[in-house]
Amino acid sequence: MALNHILSRWMKILSLVKLKNTGSPEKMASSLGISKATLVKDVKMINKIIESNLWEGVVTPIIYDKRTKTYKLREQKGRRRGYGSPSKE
């Protein structure tokens, strides 16, 4: 699979998470045209990149919220979150 295709999919995942428009993992995977397993792997890889500081200050790691059954960006006090949106303190 072309790297460009994967990166494009990761950007869609980040956009959906930032917009709080993921729905359930199954629904999100279906809307992206991938399996739930691929979505979970993608989220893990995105988080590895984020946590490696390559995207430091740009976006926070993605977490799964069991209460709402959706993905969201982890909030961090004192830091900016998700594409420059100010964190809520």
Domain chopping of the chain, boundaries? 3-73
In the predicted structure, residue 42 carries a pLDDT above the cut 80: yes
Q: Domain 3-73 has what CATH class?
A: mainly alpha
User: Which amino acid type is present at position 33?
Assistant: G
Look up tokens 């303190």; give the residue: 89
- Two structure tokens written together for 50: 């984020």
Could you tell me the pLDDT band of residue 37, with boundaries at 50, 70 and 90? very high
Contact 76, 87 (CB under 8 A): yes
- Two structure tokens written together for 18: 């930032």
Going by C-alpha positions, the residue among 2, 75, 74 that lies closest to residue 43 is 74
How large a percentage of the chain has pLDDT more than 90?
Answer: 42
Prediction pTM value: 0.67
Q: How far apart are the first and last CA of the chain?
A: 41
Assign 73 to helix, strand or coil: strand
